[in-house]
Structure 1
Amino acid sequence: MKTVCLYFQVHQPFRFRRYRFFDIGNDHYYFDDYTNESILNKIATNCYLPTNELLLRLIEKFKGKFKVSFSITGVAIEQFKLYAPEVLESFKKLADTGCVEFLGETYAHSLVALKDEAAFRQQVMSHSDLMEELFGKRPVVFRNTELIYSDQIGEMVARMGFKAMLTEGAKHVLGWKSPNFLYCNVLNPRLKVLLKNFKLSDDIAFRFGNKEWSEWPLTGSKFAGWIRQLDRKEEVVNLFLDYETFGEHQRKETGIFEFLEYLPAEILRYRSLKFGTPSEIAAELQVVAPVKVPNPVSWADEERDLTAWLGNEMQQEAFDKLYDLLPKMSRCTDSKLLQDWNYLQCSDHLYYMCTKFFSDGDVHAYFNPYETPYEAFINYMNVLSDFSLRLNAAVPSNSEQKELAGLTTILEEKDSKIKKLEEELNLIRSRKRKSKVKKDGVKKRKTTAKDVSASTSEKPESKAKKEVKPKKVNKVT
């Protein structure tokens, strides 16, 4: 019997606003709130809400036989809370069915596993805490950012206590081997490794709506038939997809929702096929062999390597400059700096700097807020420069930085005091103006009344003068 494992990635970064050189040291807010909110609401309307509703109906319809799994990044959860809480509620409803497994992730969807194990562990634990808080169960299966995996990363994940890990079934790693079996980490065999069947996964994720594709249109019946026709000895078919495949990458008009709606029935029609979650597969199946991955692989682009994020000098410089701050960040306790640090680590910022514009160009342009990779690099480095100044002020490492931090604090306190005094001064001036206007009004009213009184008293006197007649004089003869 073959087990079909449906896994979906859910992630959206906090995108930066246009942050200019002259903003450094003057403006510490980096994010484009309008863009972040509008994009998330658009995806929620097109993908998250309708697909979650459909999955819930399917789970209820098949009474536990249909199962799926998700990994949702911490920064995506934060955006749901800010912009679309109804999406988070819909995921909680899925969790309540008991047929949905939520996997471990890096909280910030970062590449920290390539740099520092302690920071990697901290971020993974933060994410696991969040998943347990929201969905009531701590993850036991791990999925690294963009399915990035190597023997060393797998060993680190095993030391954290995870039972299994997902990654790409890359051709240059497997060679003649099939991804449709359960493998294990070569350095720590206790960690089971589930490999993505990239051909069948990409048939849905990338080729589904392509009318030039020889297999178009793809139906649930046809797809289930392909799985059934696989070698009988193969035990698992791992379909790993971006969740945005439904309604975003593949628009509703392509028929993608109808495909998903009918797929479970078509698969369960065969007795030799069933659905399972990653933890169930790791517990039920036997490992056939260790998988050797000395150099990191990912599920991105045709190369299935790290060049989407670290393939040019700009990306490498930004990556190194970012993680040069790790020693200071380990001593930082400022909540705002820690939050911005998470958002700075999102791998998307490096992805926007990619200069691969050949077969994978359209993928890199998706939801990219920059016109060129160079613009993405300059904007990111400006933000990083300002963040470094704030970090140096909060966690000074030498006498000069301590002195500078002290002076900065003094200046900020003085600025605050000046602003407060200016506000008080403006208030006093405003009161004086109002008082003067009031006095002038009273004075004017008094003057007017006096003038009227004087004018009235003059009239009888003049009338009296007019009424005085000359005396009559008798003429003497």
Structure 2
Amino acid sequence: MKSVCLFFQVHQPFRHRRYRFFDIGNDHYYYDDYSNETIMRKVAEKSYLPTNKLLLNLADKLEGKFKVSFSITGLALEQFDLYAPEVIDSFKDLSKTGCIEFLSETYSHSLSSLKDKHIFKKQVKLHDEHIFALFGHRPRVFRNTEMIYSDEIGAQIAEMGYQGILTEGAKHILGWKSPNFMYVNAINPRLKVLMRNFKLSDDISFRFSNKDWSEFPLTAEKFVGWLESLDAKEEVINIFLSYESFGERQPKESGIFDFFENLAKKIVESPELKFATPSEVIEELQPVSAVNVPHAISWADEERDLTAWLGNNMQKEAFDKLYELRKRVEKCKNEEIIKDWNYLQVSDHFYYMSTKYYSHGTKSNQFNPFDTPYEAFINYMNVLSDFKIRLNSVVPENEVENEIASLHKIIDEKEKKIKKMEADIQRLRKGRKRKS
């Protein structure tokens, strides 16, 4: 019997407002609260809430036979708390069914695994603590940002104590091999590797409502038929999607919710298929071989590489400039600076700078707040410049900046005293006028 491993990614970034050059050093608030709230409410109402409701009904009706896993970023959880707390409540209801597994991930949906092992580990720990605080669940399986994976990253994940990792079943990695088996990390075989069946996943996520697709319309019967017709030796079918595929990318009017409900029921009814969480797959199946991934892969684009985030000089410069600050941030105790540091690391900022998708004025996606990748780069670097000024004020880079920081502190203290004295003078003047 083949296992169907169903996984959803849930992520929303804190988007920056238009941050001008003249804001640097004068205004330390970087976020577009209106856009962040508007987008979160829209996606929650169209996707997260109705899909969670459907999953809760399926967990009840299918009596524990329906299984699904999630990786929810810390930034998404923070935005739920701010703008849509009912989404967190719905995930808590789902977690009580016993049909849900929460996976580990980086708190900020960051690219830190490519840059700094210590920061990466810290991000993952922060994420897992948040998941445990909300849902009482300690993740055992890891899913990196954008499914980024290499042999070296996998070895670190194994050292951190995780049993398995989810990544992309990239053609140039697997060659003639199938993604429908379980593999192990080439450096540390203790780490099990589950690889996404990108064709079947994308049939739902991207092609479902495409009327020009040769398989349109996609029905639950047709999809289950594809699963059942796979080679009898294949053991696990990994269907990994962004959660926004339901209700947002594929709107309700397309029939995506009815399709998914029927699909879940037919998989449970099938004598050849069953649902399983990643942890269950890892416990039940034996790996067939190691998978060699010397260079990092992802689930993005045809290339399945890192060029969506680090493919041009703007992206690389912003990425390098950000992480040049990492050692000083480690010494920082200021909570606001640490929060902004986490928000600056989100991979979306670098994705907005991509020139791969930009042609004739088109944006890379509908939630991109910038008209061009160049505008995204300038905006990010302005924010980063201000952030560096703030960081220098508490953790100076050198002796000169230490002196400057001390002078700034003296000036700030004097300004506060002047404002207090001005307020006292105004109060005394008002008191005299009343007496006269």
* Category of TM-score, reference length = shorter chain: over 0.9
**Whole-angstrom distance in 2 between the partners of 1:283 and 1:180:** 16
Corresponding residue SS for 1:167: strand
Cα deviation for residue 175 of structure 1 reads 0.4
Q: Which amino acid aligns with 1:32?
A: D
Corresponding residue SS for 2:247: coil
Cα deviation for residue 425 of structure 1 reads 2.2
**Whole-angstrom distance in 1 between the partners of 2:159 and 2:14:** 30
Cα deviation for residue 380 of structure 1 reads 0.2
The correspondence of residues 47-196 of structure 1 with structure 2, limited to 5 A, is 47-196=47-196
**Pair 1:41 & 2:38 matched:** no
Q: Is 2:104–2:127's contact at 8 Å kept on the other side of the alignment?
A: yes
Q: Which amino acid aligns with 1:356?
A: K
1:456 counterpart residue number: none
Q: Is 2:92–2:134's contact at 8 Å kept on the other side of the alignment?
A: yes
**Number of paired residues?**
435
**Pair 1:410 & 2:410 matched:** yes
**Pair 1:316 & 2:319 matched:** no
Cα deviation for residue 269 of structure 1 reads 2.0
Cα deviation for residue 357 of structure 1 reads 2.3
**Whole-angstrom distance in 2 between the partners of 1:90 and 1:419:** 48
Q: Which amino acid aligns with 2:97?
A: T
Runs of 4+ in 1 over 6 A off after TM superposition: none
Cα deviation for residue 424 of structure 1 reads 2.2
CA RMSD of aligned residues (A): 1.3
1:428 counterpart residue number: 428
**Whole-angstrom distance in 1 between the partners of 2:81 and 2:274:** 35
1:268 counterpart residue number: 268
What do residues 192-218 of structure 1 show as CA deviations (whole Å, max 9, x unaligned)? 000000000000000001111111111
Cα deviation for residue 279 of structure 1 reads 0.5
Unmatched tracts of structure 1, length 5 or more: 437-477
2:26 counterpart residue number: 26
**Whole-angstrom distance in 2 between the partners of 1:423 and 1:204:** 64
What do residues 140-178 of structure 1 show as CA deviations (whole Å, max 9, x unaligned)? 000000000000000010000000000000000000000
1:287 counterpart residue number: 287
What do residues 227-249 of structure 1 show as CA deviations (whole Å, max 9, x unaligned)? 00110100000000000000111
Q: Which amino acid aligns with 1:355?
A: T
What do residues 403-424 of structure 1 show as CA deviations (whole Å, max 9, x unaligned)? 1110111111112222222222
**Whole-angstrom distance in 1 between the partners of 2:362 and 2:228:** 33
Q: Which amino acid aligns with 1:372?
A: T
**Whole-angstrom distance in 2 between the partners of 1:344 and 1:294:** 28
**Whole-angstrom distance in 1 between the partners of 2:82 and 2:287:** 43
Cα deviation for residue 362 of structure 1 reads 7.3
Q: Which of 394-403 and 218-227 deviates more?
A: 394-403
Q: Is 2:109–2:346's contact at 8 Å kept on the other side of the alignment?
A: yes
Cα deviation for residue 434 of structure 1 reads 4.0
The TM-score, its normalising length taken from structure 1, stands at 0.90
Corresponding residue SS for 1:413: helix
Change (3 A) 1:213 1:363: farther
Q: Which amino acid aligns with 2:92?
A: K
**Whole-angstrom distance in 2 between the partners of 1:180 and 1:71:** 21
Unmatched tracts of structure 2, length 5 or more: none
The TM-score, its normalising length taken from structure 2, stands at 0.98
